[in-house]
Structure 1
Amino acid sequence: MLDRVAAVLRGRPIDLLINSAGTIGPERQSTLDMDFDGFRRALEVNTLAPLRVVQAFVPNLRAARDRAGIARIVTISSQMARMNYAKSDRIAYRASKAALNKVMQGLATDLASESITVRVVDPGWARTEMGGADATVEVADSAAGVYARAWETTMDLTGTFVDYRGTPVSW
């Protein structure tokens, strides 16, 4: 499917690419009782798929950069992935998002010379199917914040991790 979409969009500029897919992972995801197939799936969805999407559309981002001087990649992550947040619940989710953060940090380094920015954004604990009814952030507020963070991204902000309000998040 990704290859078909990339083929349809071949040569067309993309100013902004947002990676927003994610999965919370398997029911059993403790360090002492892991569903390894579920963990593998979380890594595929949360870490590898966003990298594949970026790689598929780098030519389109380059085309936009040629036209406007800059192109942007924004990837949705989570504060739950911070290395200094020493909780172990939902470890497959946390680990896959931590790996995602590192991949995006690497992309920021690799694409900086091409004026393609990369930013990681935490959408907050939003009231989605994954976030649940107890979540504290309205979906509209989260989406508006992610959108604002995407368009404010400049080369000076490439490689940064912020929440939907723009507050820096430690890696």
Structure 2
Amino acid sequence: MEKINNINHLQRSTKVKTVVITGANRGIGLELTRIFLSTGKYAVIAGCRNPEAATELTKLGEEDSNLEIKALDVTDQKSAETFAQSLEGKPVDVLINNAGIYVDKGKGVLDADFEAWEQTYLVNVISPFRMIKVLLDNLEASDQAKILTISSQMGSMSLPYSASHAYCSSKAAVNKGMQGVALELKPKGIAVAVAHPGWVQTDMGGTAADITPAESASGLYKVVEKFSLADTGSFYKWNGEIHPW
């Protein structure tokens, strides 16, 4: 089979790039999908666990032919491989690892729920690496591929927290891991960054949060457009500022 790297890039549209967004059915993922589509510069491949139940995402797809909705459970290797196989031969210019969870129980040491810890790490830490691995050929086929993993300031060593240990440590882990991936993939021309999306009014952030999903996604879109291989390994805030590690 001819390698993806040998694809004739003239077969691609010179105007439209491809972005893959995980967890695209709600919250920040849905708004990112909406914003990328609105630019006219991107086709979006939106991954979510249950496309049949993704009502708003489906509506977007009915309105814009540049949106493809595909089943994807980022915690399941077979699901991730099936997703990747459906993109065989298609360059991916941007991968946004957006899928994440916050388990609101067993947040301290004395009441730790270790099953919840395992699930948190599976989604927040292991799954972004899984998606990079299964889509690496597609990313290498892009001229200037970028990977943005949605993290959190709660994973920053510079900001102390006394609870939510599973979530905080999962974000610290993915931050450090992506820093390493940035070094590993730099020779391949793939830029990697992580970003704090802000305290967002989602199911995870709650209604008292500072900003709306649309505000967060708008800022994150600008981060994607801004960073390059020269900035690989950076930790951004949603507004484009550099976040301390």
Give the TM-score normalised by the residue count of structure 1: 0.95
Give the % identical residues: 39
Q: What is the correspondence of 1:105-120 to structure 2 with a 5 Å cutoff?
A: 105-120=179-194
| 1:20 aligned residue | 98
- Aligned partner of 1:123 in structure 2 is 197
The alignment covers a number of residue pairs equal to: 167
- Match status 1:43 vs 2:138: no
Q: 1:47-66 counterparts in 2 under 5 A? A: 47-64=125-142
Structure number with higher relative contact order (C-alpha < 8 Å, ≥ 6 residues apart): 1
Contiguous gaps of at least 5 residues in structure 1: none
Q: Counterparts of 2:113 and 2:128 in 1: how far apart (Å)?
A: 22
Structure 1 counterpart of 2:216, from 139, 142, 151: 142
Query: Any idea what SS the aligned residue of 1:18 has?
Result: strand
So what's the TM-score if we normalise by structure 2? 0.67
Q: In structure 2, what is the equivalent of residue 4 of structure 1?
A: 82
Q: Which residue number corresponds to residue 164 of structure 2? A: 90
CA RMSD after TM alignment: 0.9
How far off its partner does 1:152 sit?
1.1
| Structure with greater Cα Rg | 2
Deviation at 1:26, TM superposition (A): 4.3
Of 170, 173, 178, the residue aligned with 1:99 is 173
Q: 1:72 Cα shift?
A: 0.2
Distance in 1 between the 2:207 and 2:107 partners?
A: 22
How far off its partner does 1:139 sit?
1.0
The runs of at least 4 consecutive aligned structure 1 residues that moved more than 2 Å come to none
In structure 1, how many angstroms separate the alpha carbons of the residues matched to 2:189 and 2:171? 25
The structure carrying a bigger helix percent of its residues is 1
What displacement does 1:83 show? 0.9
